[in-house]
Structure 1
Amino acid sequence: MRKKIVAGNWKCNTNLQEGVQLAKKVNELVAKEGADDVVVVLGTPFTHLTKVVETVDTDVIGVSAQNCAAEPKGAFTGEISAEMVKSTGAEYVILGHSERREYFGETSETLNKKLALALENNLTPIYCCGEPLEIREAGTQNDFVKKQMEETVFQLSANDFKKLVIAYEPIWAIGTGKTATSEQAQEIHAFIRSIIAEKFGNEVAQEISILYGGSCKPSNAKELFTNEDVDGGLIGGASLKAEDFLGIINGF
């Protein structure tokens, strides 16, 4: 059975005190009303990691960084290494998010370094892939996503690849109010699983959780999550409201 996962990505939101209160509220709601078979992850700013780990019941809620450095240590002012992330008690790290690629110039070469360091430090990478609007409108999204994966996660061994979570982001549906239809989500998720099977075999493909990462809300979570190949969500704005986040968690 693949894991059902709902991961929040707080992005550059909440100060430390607000973040701790949000994490506390999510923890309370999940403990009382959350689905027992769903893995819940909070992707917080670096500044929040240690306090959020201390605040939540880590048997119920996992904690994730939103990025890590491409180098293990050294004279890289402002960078946070995978080892530093691990030392906070965090278990996950989001890598390859479209905003990191677009605004900070992250390349496949950079991501390969980050993936290796994350795995070396026993962090679970939540690896993001997905296409912008012009690619979707051209109908070449499958080729685009396949190339993203071939240049990065398909460079890993099957054993390391099995440690990942994949998050598909329709970039055209993030923060735009647009949402992929349930059919569009299933189609691309099924395609991703098929190319994983081609590369690593069907057994590996059936073990990997693939999350949907585009404008998922309590109102559409159930429809999205009923798809055979959609194993949960990487949630942006709705993860900043504990009740909305719970509604998504209970969308299965």
Structure 2
Amino acid sequence: MARKFFVGGNFKMNPATREQKRALVKILNDANLDPNVEVVVAPPSLYLISILEILRKDVQVSAQNCHAKASGAYTGEISPQQLVDAGVPYVILGHSERRSLFHETSEEVAAKTRAAIDAGLKVILCVGETLEEREAGKTQAVVQAQLAVVVAALEPAQWENVVIAYEPVWAIGTGKVATCEQAQEVHAATRAYISSAISPAIADAVRIIYGGSVNAKNCKETGNQPDVDGFLVGGASLKPEFVDIVNTKRA
């Protein structure tokens, strides 16, 4: 099955001003983007609606997080239903910064994922190991454990609304990048796990993207690996080179 290449830009807690926000949007609006690539950007929640209103329609918008509940006394949170009502199609869940800085467990990520999909959102589901875990040879065990609770939480048909983002924690914001061989190895093993845990058809269809200090210089080789279906880009999504990453597959 041909899986549509996917490039996401996670702005994190950037840009700092509305002027910078407009400049970022202008780069995308003026760019010659490969029409065969699904492009999604995830600005801070404060800017979600305003960016939706001014961004070109072939680039989608994602939230960076959401709550598992539809409403209630959860100060500072956004519900999946609110995102759907605002016209936001995607949400990033389980990012390593949410897991490490805000102590979200895999069970919480799974509950959010089910709630988001039930509400009508599509999910960019992040998994990945720390440097200590990689050096101990635990990469596959960690990634599969993070996925296992989501597998248990979802119905098989719901996986059509999930993009798995493999993000080695040791490569996020560090300038270190997994080699294309390392990325392919984890992606292939992840696809094999999905095949055994759910079904071969779902494993063949689900997109597994790579995140971890992706930039215009290192995206080509990694993007050409058979089980790498795109990227989740951090810092480079705030720069003009994001366009080059989107166009990785363009001849």
- The farther-off stretch of 122-131 and 8-17 is 8-17
Aligned to 2:21: 19
2:40 pairs with 1:41: yes
Query: Which secondary structure state, in structure 1, belongs to the residue aligned with residue 161 of structure 2?
Result: coil
- Match of 2:74? 76
Letter in 2 for 1:41: V
Mapping of residues 58-73 of structure 1, within 5 Å: 58=57, 60-73=58-71
Q: How far apart are the structure 2 equivalents of 1:84 and 1:160?
A: 20
- How many residues were matched structurally? 247
Q: Counterparts of 1:225-244 in structure 2 under 5 Å?
A: 225-241=223-239, 243-244=240-241
Q: TM-score normalized by structure 2?
A: 0.95
Structure 1 portions without partners, runs of 5+: none
Checking the alignment, whether the CA contact within 8 Å between 2:5 and 2:230 is kept in structure 1 is: yes
CA deviations on 1:112-141 (whole Å, 9 max, x unpaired) are 221122112211000000000001011110
TM superposition shift of 1:3: 1.5
5+ residue gaps, structure 2, are: none
CA contact (8 A) 1:24 1:55 kept: no
Deviations 1:198-231, CA, capped at 9 Å, x for gaps: 1121111111111101111100111010000000
Kindly provide the amino acid, as one letter, of the partner of residue 35 in structure 1.
D
2: CA distance between counterparts of 1:153 and 1:40?
25
Q: CA deviation at 1:162?
A: 2.1
For 2:6, the aligned partner's letter is I
The equivalent residue for 2:212 is 214
Q: Give the corresponding residue for 1:189.
A: 187
Letter in 2 for 1:19: K
Identity over the aligned pairs, expressed in percent?
Answer: 45
**What is the aligned-residue RMSD (CA, Å)?**
1.1
The alpha-carbon deviation at position 108 of structure 1 amounts to 2.0
Q: How does 1:87-98 map to 2 (within 5 A)?
A: 87-98=85-96
Instruction: Give 1:248's aligned residue.
Output: 245
Match in the other structure for 2:98: 100
For the residue of structure 2 that corresponds to 1:218, the secondary structure is coil
Rounded to whole Å, the distance in 2 between the matches of 1:195 and 1:113 is: 20
Q: 2:241 corresponds to which letter in structure 1?
A: D
Using the size of structure 1 for normalisation, the TM-score is 0.95
Report matched runs for 1:79-228 at 5 Å: 79-228=77-226
